[in-house]
Chain A
Amino acid sequence: MVPRWRQIQEQIVASQFWKSIFRVGIPNTNRKRVLAMLGNVVLHLHPVKTRKSGVKMRYTWCAGGVTFFLFLVLTFTGLLLMFYYRPTVEYAFVDILDLREQVPFGIMREVHRWGAHAMVISVWIHMFRVFMTGSYKPPREFNWVIGVILLVLTLLLSFTGYLLPWDQLAIWAITVGSNMASATPLMGIQGPGTGLLKIGDIPLVTSTNDARFGLLGGRFVGAGALLRFYVLHCVGIPLIAAFLMAVHFWRVRKDGGISGPA
């Protein structure tokens, strides 16, 4: 007997269980489409109705959406990786090695690493799109500013994560990057003017209190830096970024929805 799919579907949608979750049923009338958008905590990020040009891929390239989605993917895969990873000089590398050798078909580390690269690229493309459509112009100036902070946070997330595998690639890339901090004017040991800061003969800024030391929690990329970067990577920066994303999305709505010609 051919099952009557339509009838089964209707029965499911009419059941108490289904209705307790999705209050409005299948959004096949305009009224229900409105209710579907308003009644769901995730969907109500969106307005009920959107400018047609803003829905088009050719306009937004969905680049902001893809960035956000990649952020979610990274949060999820990162959480899984945290189960297996200990941020100490003793264990960090072997834990990653274990992940690689012991988990058959494991691709969480891959998804996390390539996802991070992809997110960096997609933020740039999103910024590029927003620029090319002039969407930073009034009234959206401040959302652009928030966007720039998000861009910096995305790069910092990627940068702090780069150290965690604790292999040659990791510590030397971070060494090259963090060496810059020692050139901070007046605050880095090699920075311009730093040598002038002294009381008598005693220099005020030394390799144990300059900007680089603050960044690394040590004079070189060692245990202190690993722990510091781990905490920033897994807790600090994601929290700030998630908060700012909420503000970013809120403002997209409050500034009149996706931009379009007046």
Chain B
Amino acid sequence: MPVINAFKSAVNFLSAPQYLVTAMLVLLLVGLRSKLLWSKRGGLFLLVAIGGGMAISYLDPNFNAVASLPDNVPIVGMIFLVGFFFWFAMNQAYENDRRIAAGLPTIEAADSAQKVFSWPDLVYVELICLVVVMAVMIVWSIFLKAPLEEPANPTDSPNPAKAPWYFLGLQEMLVYYDPWLAGVVLPSLIIVGLMAIPYIDTNPKGNGYFTFRERKWEITLFLLGFLVLWCTLIALGTFLRGPNWNFFGPYEFWDVNKLVPLNNINLSEIIWIKMLKRSLPNFWLIREIFGLVIVGFYVAALPLLLSKTLLRRFYEKMGTPRYLIGVSLVLIMISLPIKMYLRWFFNLKYVVNIPEFAFNI
């Protein structure tokens, strides 16, 4: 059927990382502000679009082969659960924002005026949750066997060799950053950054109830990290990365021999060879001076510059230490999509490339 095939090719094309990540960014920046998406109707639309799309996709043998691997089933589950709870949180946030604007108490405030006895109100809810979870676990375990592959063979590396699924976002980062960043420094900063959230965010509003309007910045930034850079990259790494970590569309066969042209180029080459028409200097400091200045500017000068200009309001409200730590962490997080776009648009490989010290950014 030519129509279906054309459709499949279109989807294959559009799910390439550059479009997928862009689509998620747009969904985040525009979607968060669109009231319609978080209504019951919007939720139903999302469910039908994503659920229906997935369900029909299972008819495709190539999609099916990847999405029904036992270890990938939980990730399908994750997509729906995270999607549902995203909608559920935003739905209540918009309802509360409407109430606050109308001078009414929030859903939670209306509820929390009174206290109830933990027995039975709380204990029974927990018991029901417990029974439901147990039932789901048992049914799931009966119908889906835990995978067991060939015995371990250290000489026979599978292709693709993938980390456990919850680390696939980090493995995907390896496309854009070297292991010392993608595998060591950035994960550490994710942990530190998460821990720092309560100490950086000094907005006293929105404590103990769902709201969007009172916490626009915090929510947008957190979801940029959690939904786009963590969950989306996991889904991408699981379903769309095949042999040699090449990109494969959801309906594309995982061909081990797929050839992807590698024409990535370093910033030093762009500047010295293409723009200045010279050969690369031998001494690393001179060769990489532009990249080093750019990186130095980004991590050291930019936060200061922003404190005087664009983010002045935040700087004054937060005070110096909070502001510097918070903005640095956010800038480092945003450097990932920036590096991605530089790769997609300019084939940029490294901003700084000093193989002399295995130091590449």
Contact = CB atoms under 8 A, between A and B. Distances in A.
Q: Do A and B come from one complex?
A: yes
Interface of A: 27, 30, 33-34, 36-37, 43, 46-59, 61-62, 65-66, 69-70, 73, 89, 93, 96-97, 100, 107, 109-115, 117-118, 120-121, 124-125, 127-129, 131-138, 140-142, 144-145, 148, 151-152, 155, 158-159, 162, 165-173, 175-177, 179-185, 188, 190-196, 220-222, 259-262
Interface in B129-151: 129-130, 133-134, 137-138, 140-142, 144-151
B77 A52 contact: no
A36 B119 contact: yes
A92 to B, nearest CB: 8
A46 B163 contact: no
B309 interface: no
Nearest to B96: A261
Chain B interface helix/strand/loop/mixed: helix
Interface residues of B, number: 95
B185 to A, nearest CB: 7
Given A33-B118, A148-B191, 15 more contacts: A34-B117, A46-B118, A46-B123, A52-B111, A52-B121, A128-B226, A129-B85, A144-B197, A168-B158, A177-B163, A183-B184, A185-B185, A195-B357, A220-B154, A261-B109
Interface string B179-200: 1101111000001001101110
9 closest A-B pairs by beta carbon, nearest first, are: A180-B183, A110-B141, A183-B179, A141-B198, A53-B111, A117-B74, A192-B359, A53-B112, A137-B207
Interface string B329-356: 0000000000000000000000000000
A114 B117 contact: no
A100 B230 CA distance: 34
6 contacts: A55-B118, A133-B209, A155-B166, A167-B150, A183-B180, A190-B358
Nearest to B77: A121
B133 A175 contact: no
Contact of B358 (A56, A107, A193, A222): A193
Contacts of A140: 198
Interface in B63-95: 71, 74, 77-78, 81-82, 85-86, 88-89, 92-93
B137 A49 contact: no
Q: Which of A132, A181, A193 has the most CB of B within 10 A?
A: A132
Contacts of B184: 180-181, 183-185, 188, 191
Contacts, number: 288
Contacts of B179: 179-180, 182-183, 190
B260 interface: no
Nearest to A120: B166
Contact of B207 (A43, A54, A259): A259
Interface string B209-224: 1110001000100100
B115 A51 contact: yes
Contact of B122 (A46, A93, A117, A118): A46
Contact of B164 (A145, A177, A192): A177
A71 to B, nearest CB: 11
B129 A69 contact: yes
B153 interface: yes
B137 A59 contact: no
Given A53-B108, A65-B129, A73-B137, A173 B183 contact: no
Given A53-B108, A110-B144, A133-B210, A191 B119 contact: no
Contacts of A43: 118-119, 123
Contacts of A47: 118
B153 A121 contact: no
B308 to A, nearest CB: 28
B163 A111 contact: no
A53 to B, nearest CB: 4
A121 B140 CA distance: 15
Contacts of A259: 207-208
A124 B146 contact: no
A57 to B, nearest CB: 7
B209 to A, nearest CB: 5
Contacts of B153: 168
B125 interface: yes
Contacts of B197: 131, 136, 144
A215 B119 CA distance: 47
B148 A193 contact: no
Given A110-B141, A169-B149, A192-B359, A55 B116 contact: yes
A30 to B, nearest CB: 7
Contacts of A152: 191
B141 A111 contact: yes
